[in-house]
Amino acid sequence: MSQQPTASHFINGAYVEDTSGTPIQVIFPATGEVIATVYAATPQIVDQAIEAARAAQKQWAKMSGTERGRVLRRAADIMRERNHELSVLETYDTGKPLQETLVADATSGADALEYFGGLAATLTGEHIPLGEDWVYTVREPLGVCVGIGAWNYPTQIACWKGAPALACGNAMIFKPSETTPLCALKVAEILIEAGLPAGLYNVVQGLGDVGASLVTDPRVDKVSLTGSVPTGRKVYSAAAAGMKHVTMELGGKSPLIVFDDADLDNAVGGAINGNFYASGQVCSNGTRVFVQKGIKDAFLKRLAERMQSAVIGDPLDEATNFGPMVSASQMDIVKGYIAKGLDEGARLVAGGGQLERDGFYLEPTVFADVTDDMTIAREEIFGPVMAVLDFEDEAEVIARANATDFGLSAGVFTRDLSRAHRVIGALEAGSCFINSYNDAPVEAPFGGVKASGVGRENSKEAIQHYSQVKSVYVRMGDVEAAF
Ligand code: NDP
């Protein structure tokens, strides 16, 4: 593997090793081979990272937005120049096909660095006239921000959290998922090379306990988690106890609704993107595919035809468009859901099995005739399992689509534009799509409602979550007092 990180942690501008922490083996999901070992952060390492971040942040906040932005934009350029090697590393870390990682990971991270680099100089306050007197506001950084990542997009998540945090004048400590610890280290390396002062972007490895120790530390001002709803509940309540700012990007069970009048191939394409990209390990996936009865047979037939062109194999081969699951344990979880689907009476129309080869490969799987009460229609599976449900009319499908605790994403395929906007308007979800699915440009806010989260990543919205406003009342005349 090219350009592997040289130690477990990145603190105060340099790699740091401490082999007294618990070893964490990094496994290439396509073969099951151990490709690296990192060591979980000890309390001393966590302390070192927090102190480095605190020391560096004050000076960074004093720099102009233009200067801060220049560093981020330089980092974006370096990431794009090294896209190939970063994509190879992402593929080793996650198992996602190189065909995907070349266009969706370091490139998306670079977009975030470029976008927030551009925004940094525009972060100003307001002038509020009050007759003779006036109020002005100042947008200030929060201080030390902690980012905790899931394993599906390790480079992207490290940048989606780091770029807005740094643009606003904060320092960041990022803890990657223990399953994919390598990529965030390269992000830290690139930021330093781009001129980021030491201490502003630190990476510490570890399991949930390391994340928890960061979240509860009184020196930390903000926590941004990408993870599951159960972890989100724990992290949110721990952060609340310390009155910290939070962003929670959590799981989903999103509806993708296909009306009879939809363009068939676009709807099938949307369902494929929304269920099988990254082997289905995408939080915003449209895993409940509601198909109106009149188009159901044609939809399933066309889906089956297009699934014939899935190329399942070595993710390092650019011809492969469907790779392994991230880990043996995730594969076992998904196999459990497939078994439940069969037990509860869903009709298996494609896939359903594990491939007979090394690594953690499952077939892309489709169940039809799924009903709302089945486990595979209610719980987040986080694997390549599409559930197709039938519906008759608009009001019915809106009610059923909303009958979930989750609210991350939703999509509608129809040629009727009024209906598209009406239905999207009625769906309880944060990130929605009309005649498309799973696009995530940095310019668009991303995040969920209900149990799927709090706050938004990307776009100008993210600035609200990495900064706070100071308001200053200025009196021009004399102070009147009661006595
Ligand atoms: P987890 O919730 O298991 O873990 C997320 C991160 O939190 C990991 O780094 C984990 O460490 C850490 N963690 C676990 N327990 C604690 C704790 N008590 N305090 C602090 N940190 C903790 O999620 P997965 O990694 O399994 O990722 C899959 C989930 O992420 C899915 O539910 C998916 O929907 C969601 N997700 C959401 C996205 C969004 O933007 N809305 C995007 C991508 C994924 P460790 O792994 O070492 O245990």
Distance 153 CA to ligand 1 centre (A): 11
For the chain, how many residues are written?
483
Q: State if residue 250 touches ligand 1 by the CB under 6 angstroms criterion.
A: yes
pLDDT of residue 3 exceeding 90: no
Same domain, yes or no: 326 and 427: yes
Q: Is residue 444 part of a domain?
A: no
Same domain, yes or no: 313 and 342: yes
Same domain, yes or no: 241 and 263: no
pLDDT tier at 160, thresholds 50, 70, 90: very high
Same domain, yes or no: 214 and 292: no
pTM: 0.97
Answer left, alpha or beta for residue 451, where phi above 0 means left and psi between -120 and 50 means alpha: alpha
- Measured CA distances, 293 to 139, 300, 373, 389 (Å): 52, 11, 19, 9
Q: What is the pLDDT of residues 418-434, one digit of tens each?
A: 999 999 999 999 999 99
Q: What is the pLDDT of residues 56-102, one digit of tens each?
A: 999 999 999 999 999 999 999 999 999 999 999 999 999 999 999 99
> Which CATH number fits the domain that encloses residue 212?
3.40.605.10
Q: Considering 189, 363, 394, 457, which one is annotated as catalytic?
A: 457
Q: What is the pLDDT of residues 225-266, one digit of tens each?
A: 999 999 999 999 999 999 999 999 999 999 999 999 999 999
Tokens describing residue 247: 């962003």
Same domain, yes or no: 226 and 331: no
pLDDT of residue 182 exceeding 60: yes
For 404, what's the count of Cα atoms within 13 Å in the CB-facing half-sphere?
A: 33
Q: State if residue 78 touches ligand 1 by the CB under 6 angstroms criterion.
A: no
Distance 176 CA to ligand 1 centre (A): 9
Would you list which residues are annotated within the binding site for NAD(+)? 149-151, 175-178, 251, 283, 380
Q: Is residue 3 part of a domain?
A: no
Would you list which residues are annotated within the binding site for K(+)? 27, 93, 450, 453
% residues pLDDT > 70 (the chain): 100
Q: State if residue 208 touches ligand 1 by the CB under 6 angstroms criterion.
A: yes
Q: Judge whether 161 counts as a catalytic residue.
A: yes
Q: State if residue 212 touches ligand 1 by the CB under 6 angstroms criterion.
A: yes
Q: Is residue 477 part of a domain?
A: no
Cα 371 to Cα 158: distance, rounded to the nearest angstrom = 37
Q: Judge whether 457 counts as a catalytic residue.
A: yes
Same domain, yes or no: 122 and 29: yes
- Measured CA distances, 135 to 25, 123, 138, 334 (Å): 55, 17, 10, 56
Average pLDDT over residues 465-481: 98
Q: Is residue 132 part of a domain?
A: yes
- In 176-278, at which residue ranges do the beta strands (DSSP E only) sit? 201-203, 222-226, 245-249, 255-258
Same domain, yes or no: 239 and 374: no
Cα 462 to Cα 200: distance, rounded to the nearest angstrom = 18
pLDDT tier at 4, thresholds 50, 70, 90: confident
Same domain, yes or no: 35 and 117: yes
pLDDT of residue 129: 98
Q: Which residues pair with 150 in a beta bridge?
A: none
Residue 342's domain comprises 255-434
Same domain, yes or no: 259 and 220: no
Q: What is the mean pLDDT of the chain?
A: 98
Cα 125 to Cα 290: distance, rounded to the nearest angstrom = 45
Same domain, yes or no: 245 and 299: no
Q: What is the pLDDT of residues 297-309, one digit of tens each?
A: 999 999 999 999 9
Alpha-carbon dihedral sign for residues 367, 373, 379, 380: positive
> Which CATH number fits the domain that encloses residue 423?
3.40.309.10
* Nearest ligand 1 atom to alpha carbon 177: 9
pLDDT of residue 2 exceeding 70: no
Q: Is residue 43 part of a domain?
A: yes
Same domain, yes or no: 104 and 217: yes
Main-chain dihedrals φ then ψ at residue 461, nearest 5 degrees: -55, -35
